[in-house]
Structure 1
């Protein structure tokens, strides 16, 4: 314990010296730079920040704080002058957030050192004198894999140009190169932070591919190299443990802008970017390997890579095997004739080709079950499948529907073309074969059915493939149900029982290696049932689904739809996986990384390597641990069942409050999120219709609360649940559980992280609002209740006391963006007035929208 406290203290000191002090130094330099010809903006901003802090302490509203500042410090107080300077403040603060990101990233290696005791090498070392442990580790390594899936959810605000500046700025800060830092800060000041129009799905894919090309290509290969080296040292066979997935261009759930041609275009783009990476590496290799005996092979590989990287007319073929064969020939010649000189360069490229093939990242297809049911219904109206089904098929029960499915391959003759949405599904099903043919099977082999509520959702989709060009024996596809709501999670086990017991589906699984992927969504389950119920429902679903898979001898892999904040499954993610017991399948870790999680945890090669290694080590440590305290004994399970239900009832009561949505609409930028040009995806599924909670996307829901600095989805109901247990006399047992169960501790610690990014003092004046005052007090009371109970449970004096570096980072970031929050409230307050001109309304909307970028970016995992 003393050693741990010492290490924590050292980290905190490093953070203050390396991050906070350097940020203050470079920020003072930044504030003196000329910016869009606005004189004195940098001088006034520190005064504005201090004024905002004092106003919040005095519980003043933004409508008081901001005018008072201009009366005191500004010479011109017209509304135009106020608006103009507020926009300049926003631009400065946006870039201050980037500067802090870069300074923090530059110190990443000093702040984050891998625990040697939990590395793969250390586990292998422990198995040297323990035959049982050695065999266990060897078997685990053979089965283990990590799949990271990049998604285009609209919470990633940095455009490619800014990402490149951050990368260069981070490198310059590491070198303490003041001249370059000064130039990059000037470049940052002149570089736009937002798009003038919404990106297309292909634009999103291209933006996200920046991380593949500049980060993952190197980081994943380096981690794989370390795994290979460790395994070879202990005479174990090397194997691929890292996989990459990709959603932009394939995820059409609720996004009418994604079409089949986008999917094909993105698949081609991923391939071309990958071959450019290969070509870049091969040029370096070619400069070193100038020996006799390899000239012809080098020349041939060079030509192949060049054509695939730069010639758009080159035929798209799966050439990974050809590449590997020729690279191996080069390697063999080096070993036999040239003392193995530069063989490491060849090994590195061979490793990358094995990792990424022709495709870089597997393109997942996702569509909502309700759309897929409509596609199936449309096909049933046409010959020859029309004869297989009665007209009242949709009104039949689940068992009757499944009994009618024939799974016969058929070529449908359409009497009339389907509507655009249905046509997209049919075209995509057909074109997946083209992607597999050109880029390899792994380029596109998963179809995810969101909002999956019954086994027929999977089986009917399988039929659609057989009706649209696919043969049973050649159906190289994995069908992945996505269970999201609390009710869907509860029913998931029975749905999979139906599928595993179905003769045709079971036969299909056998052809796919008896492996089933199941996706579980945190975001919608949190929106549906609150933080604690969502986590506990997913935990129980995983236990039940694992048991069901074991009964049918199925190799199960859970694919977790984790977003940025704890409310959407984020936070200390690796701790969740490390705490899984044998009752939960954990040999194949799969998770989405999205929004600011990509830039904050995988934005640099250093951070990506660290976080990939953390997840791998979490999976290995969980697999070999002899004892897990995962709350499945009757006493703990009953308590958590009751707590989850208490939390659920509290959250549902809040959600059903008549002012719930109107509060969000008035005080947060919820209704303006659709005007932020960062995503091709609509804010809500029912585009054009009235705002309903069920149609509102979980990302928009969580973002709205985070903008208010009231992270309701990340804590609400937890305090009530804990307080009820204390009243029942279960407190000592709960404290013991917190300290002994890694899973429960992670839930609680992530909840505290979420609350650390809340600040009800900013909205304290809401308490006096005639319409919403009582509602604000409900929120505030539960926050204070949750805070008190969590501190009591953990034995801490302040939130995140055990994570001082992260706590300090959050505090600095929240201080930076406090003015943005107040400017946003100021703009929204004006927008609530009825006598605004169109021009005034547009100006205030733009002002409110611009504040969203910096607030989300500073939070790193707020949305």
Structure 2
């Protein structure tokens, strides 16, 4: 389907449907929400015209009250604003549902990046055998995190799911009922969710979206590429899981929580098997087969409800028995159903998704220090001495002799073998270390296993350093060089099949180094680590900590992976999926299948189909490096500006993220009251810029760097780079996506602020510069010209939330001036966060 055809289809089945259902929505009799649907267009017009005329949000909202209502008191006005927020939140859900329902009609089986397209292309280019060869050991792993960028409570998510189905069926009666339910269902969690709540929320998706999606996709790939000589390996598509295992900065994740979540994952997959088996038994009702499957059903039931151990091997043994009888006595009737079920058991085991453990290296050092002191007393030992001596300790150290985080860390490491016994080794097999920047950070974790009683050969865990800051990325080569040469670690890697996973963090990298510099440093780090690993006989796997918007490593993920050349190891594509990205990109079967396919084919294409635009020439590398350094200097100057943190603290919603009750984790590291840049978590940091409609981390410094080369008469070099390098082109297009979702007129009023006016102008100048030069570079007349669907979606969403942004800024202005009911205005700011973030879902 051509882009213009897609755009027309989008107009018909998304824009038009939204107009129709929105008019239905406007006339619904919600509690205390009468007439909101009539008033909202007036607030939108006041906002749109007011900002273009340079009015402040306060002037716009006050004029709306004066021109379109007869409200007099502050209390009445606040009540109306809260009702408008509630209304807009629900409009966003309606639009989400309509857009999701349209997804299958907007995409076809033979689109670029699909399995069908890959097969057709490989046939045309006579590369079918090469594709099969790549599929032999290639893997895509999507790791679900609990990072709080999803504001829908589970009750609303269920309505969203049902609404999507009713819109697909064009059932006006059901839509009407569901919209009424939506109007009466709270959008706000009264209390923060616990890590268990977060885990259960995502396990719901595992059971009702990914079990079938991955099972069906595996069958499709097997049927498309399989033959008598080629059998697809069951680890082709894997799931990973962080809620309940990720304790970095989250004091509520304890060893008990980790154990409980592992049990929930095991129970969830067994329930999925139990339900699937019912369908299989409906067809396989033959003598002998029926009895064996009945026995398996009883065993699964016992394992689920009496917590008796069952392994994937036990389940497969029964299925193999049934298959033998089916083939020998019943003409292999419905054999495909049995084989599909067997494939799922091989894919998901008794773990469903691999539960990772993650903690900050500084916490680990604290644990090592305390244990070392208890064992050897006070000493002048270096950090390296400490882990080396503790690794040699022969007797198990009693966790009960310690308190708090030390005790919990040791208990958690000790219980890994119990989780592996119950869920299989795939249930938990790696420990990730945030803020890794030294060898000790990896070896400390190895020491944990030794002091909690593991023999070397019993440590069935990969130890994964996470390099995320500029310093960490700079140190990555020396850290891994030393690790690969460490005799103890060498033997550990041998036992792990000489495979090393290395995680690279985009969010904190961008926060630390700016958009272009972070992406280039990560690219270079991957190249260096690829070469180093190959020299040491190690198969390296890169795990990308990617987020929703481009500033957190998001954007067009397929393009990102497809743009990586042969200098970067491509053994596996592994990335985090978080928050609203789970629901917006992998939230239903059609979208999940499409996006899993896109990741898979990006990895396969990279190796099989040669494309000179993927590989950087020396000249291109030198130019990207030059641009990255100029942009880094510009971004570093911005970070060092005395108003940088105060601006976020006083003029944005940064301080309000912690009050939203959307995640179990605190919104900043460190316990002090003073806000330091390094304590800022990447999500509230990027989110606050997004709420201001300034999206600074997605572009700042990029345009300035290109402008500098233009002034030197070298813009043709940049043009050549854009045309010749897929990697650079992807960065430019993702940055333009960030800018397309910016709207500086919202904060024009800050330019006259005595404290922040000069700082705001720095941001605005760079935005205009970046926008102009990127349009010149690409030859586009508008941002996101190459992606009309995303552009149209963004435009509608921005229109829906413009009144919400006016309300948020109005409340912030009132708080800054110290006027009126401060508590009510703060609540207004917090509530307005929800709709704005949810409306930005297509940033991923």
TM superposition score normalised by structure 2: 0.97
SS at match of 1:381: helix
Q: Aligned to 1:221, which of 204, 215, 221? A: 215
Residue 623 of structure 1 deviates from its aligned partner by 1.2
Indicate how the Cα distance of structure 1 residues 391 and 8 shifts in structure 2: closer, same or farther if over 3 A, else same: same
Mapping 1:176-325, distance limit 5 Å: 176-233=170-227, 235-240=229-234, 241-309=236-304, 311=305, 313-315=306-308, 317-325=309-317
Moved more, 134-143 or 288-297: 134-143
Residues 401 and 456, structure 1, Cα contact 8 Å, conserved in 2: no
- Once residues 406 and 446 of structure 1 are traced to their aligned partners in structure 2, the CA distance between those partners, rounded to angstroms, is 19
- What is the aligned partner in structure 2 of residue 847 from structure 1? 828
Indicate how the Cα distance of structure 1 residues 738 and 474 shifts in structure 2: closer, same or farther if over 3 A, else same: same
- What is the aligned partner in structure 1 of residue 738 from structure 2? 754
Residue 408 of structure 1 deviates from its aligned partner by 4.8
- Once residues 638 and 40 of structure 1 are traced to their aligned partners in structure 2, the CA distance between those partners, rounded to angstroms, is 60
- Once residues 788 and 122 of structure 2 are traced to their aligned partners in structure 1, the CA distance between those partners, rounded to angstroms, is 35
Residue 677 of structure 2 is aligned to residue 700 of structure 1 = no
- Once residues 479 and 13 of structure 1 are traced to their aligned partners in structure 2, the CA distance between those partners, rounded to angstroms, is 50
Deviations 1:218-264 (A, max 9, x none): 11111111121123247411212011000000000011111000000
C-alpha root-mean-square deviation of aligned residues, in Å? 1.9
- Once residues 749 and 624 of structure 1 are traced to their aligned partners in structure 2, the CA distance between those partners, rounded to angstroms, is 25
- What is the aligned partner in structure 1 of residue 359 from structure 2? 367
- What is the aligned partner in structure 1 of residue 329 from structure 2? 337
- Once residues 814 and 281 of structure 2 are traced to their aligned partners in structure 1, the CA distance between those partners, rounded to angstroms, is 63
Residues 706 and 862, structure 1, Cα contact 8 Å, conserved in 2: no
SS at match of 1:560: strand
- What is the aligned partner in structure 2 of residue 393 from structure 1? 381
Residues 565 and 754, structure 1, Cα contact 8 Å, conserved in 2: yes
SS at match of 1:334: helix
Deviations 1:89-114 (A, max 9, x none): 11110010010001001110121235
Residue 670 of structure 2 is aligned to residue 686 of structure 1 = yes
Indicate how the Cα distance of structure 1 residues 82 and 234 shifts in structure 2: closer, same or farther if over 3 A, else same: farther
Indicate how the Cα distance of structure 1 residues 92 and 129 shifts in structure 2: closer, same or farther if over 3 A, else same: closer
Mapping 1:77-156, distance limit 5 Å: 77-115=72-110, 118-120=113-115, 123=118, 133-156=127-150
Deviations 1:567-602 (A, max 9, x none): 000010111111111110112000000011111100
- Once residues 207 and 49 of structure 1 are traced to their aligned partners in structure 2, the CA distance between those partners, rounded to angstroms, is 34
Residue 628 of structure 1 deviates from its aligned partner by 3.6
SS at match of 2:738: helix
- Once residues 168 and 341 of structure 1 are traced to their aligned partners in structure 2, the CA distance between those partners, rounded to angstroms, is 36
- Once residues 774 and 688 of structure 1 are traced to their aligned partners in structure 2, the CA distance between those partners, rounded to angstroms, is 29
Q: Aligned to 2:525, which of 519, 541, 551? A: 541
- Once residues 567 and 805 of structure 1 are traced to their aligned partners in structure 2, the CA distance between those partners, rounded to angstroms, is 21
Mapping 1:692-841, distance limit 5 Å: 692-834=676-818, 840-841=821-822
- What is the aligned partner in structure 2 of residue 24 from structure 1? 19
- Gaps in structure 1 of 5+ consecutive residues: 1-5
Residue 468 of structure 1 deviates from its aligned partner by 0.2
Deviations 1:18-73 (A, max 9, x none): 10010011000001001113321222122222222222222211111111111111
Residue 127 of structure 1 deviates from its aligned partner by 5.9
SS at match of 2:374: coil
Indicate how the Cα distance of structure 1 residues 123 and 659 shifts in structure 2: closer, same or farther if over 3 A, else same: closer
Deviations 1:425-447 (A, max 9, x none): 11100111110011101101110
SS at match of 1:590: strand
Deviations 1:581-627 (A, max 9, x none): 11101120000000111111001100000000000000000011334
Indicate how the Cα distance of structure 1 residues 82 and 130 shifts in structure 2: closer, same or farther if over 3 A, else same: closer
Residue 741 of structure 1 deviates from its aligned partner by 1.4
Moved more, 154-163 or 473-482: 154-163
- Once residues 257 and 754 of structure 1 are traced to their aligned partners in structure 2, the CA distance between those partners, rounded to angstroms, is 33
Q: Aligned to 2:476, which of 492, 508, 511? A: 492
SS at match of 2:140: strand
Q: Aligned to 1:159, which of 153, 159, 163? A: 153
Residue 338 of structure 2 is aligned to residue 349 of structure 1 = no
Residues 517 and 557, structure 1, Cα contact 8 Å, conserved in 2: yes
Moved more, 133-142 or 288-297: 133-142
SS at match of 2:253: coil
Residues 368 and 387, structure 2, Cα contact 8 Å, conserved in 1: no
Residues 118 and 621, structure 1, Cα contact 8 Å, conserved in 2: no
Residues 856 and 862, structure 1, Cα contact 8 Å, conserved in 2: no
- Once residues 146 and 121 of structure 2 are traced to their aligned partners in structure 1, the CA distance between those partners, rounded to angstroms, is 41
Residues 368 and 386, structure 2, Cα contact 8 Å, conserved in 1: no
Residues 228 and 239, structure 1, Cα contact 8 Å, conserved in 2: no
Indicate how the Cα distance of structure 1 residues 392 and 719 shifts in structure 2: closer, same or farther if over 3 A, else same: same
Moved more, 776-785 or 842-851: 842-851
Deviations 1:363-391 (A, max 9, x none): 000000001111111121234xx28xx81
- Once residues 674 and 411 of structure 2 are traced to their aligned partners in structure 1, the CA distance between those partners, rounded to angstroms, is 31
Q: Aligned to 1:68, which of 63, 73, 76? A: 63
- Once residues 435 and 24 of structure 2 are traced to their aligned partners in structure 1, the CA distance between those partners, rounded to angstroms, is 51
SS at match of 1:107: helix
Moved more, 741-750 or 685-694: 685-694
- Once residues 671 and 150 of structure 1 are traced to their aligned partners in structure 2, the CA distance between those partners, rounded to angstroms, is 26
- Once residues 127 and 577 of structure 1 are traced to their aligned partners in structure 2, the CA distance between those partners, rounded to angstroms, is 19
Residue 793 of structure 1 deviates from its aligned partner by 0.9
- What is the aligned partner in structure 2 of residue 3 from structure 1? none
- Once residues 193 and 407 of structure 2 are traced to their aligned partners in structure 1, the CA distance between those partners, rounded to angstroms, is 23
Residues 409 and 471, structure 1, Cα contact 8 Å, conserved in 2: no
What count of residue pairs does the alignment treat as equivalent?
843
- Once residues 39 and 118 of structure 1 are traced to their aligned partners in structure 2, the CA distance between those partners, rounded to angstroms, is 47
Deviations 1:684-723 (A, max 9, x none): 0113431111001011100110000000000000110111
Moved more, 521-530 or 48-57: 48-57
- Gaps in structure 2 of 5+ consecutive residues: none
- Once residues 688 and 36 of structure 1 are traced to their aligned partners in structure 2, the CA distance between those partners, rounded to angstroms, is 42
- Once residues 441 and 345 of structure 2 are traced to their aligned partners in structure 1, the CA distance between those partners, rounded to angstroms, is 36
- Once residues 46 and 228 of structure 2 are traced to their aligned partners in structure 1, the CA distance between those partners, rounded to angstroms, is 62
Residue 540 of structure 2 is aligned to residue 556 of structure 1 = yes
Deviations 1:650-681 (A, max 9, x none): 11111111111111122211111111101110
TM superposition score normalised by structure 1: 0.95
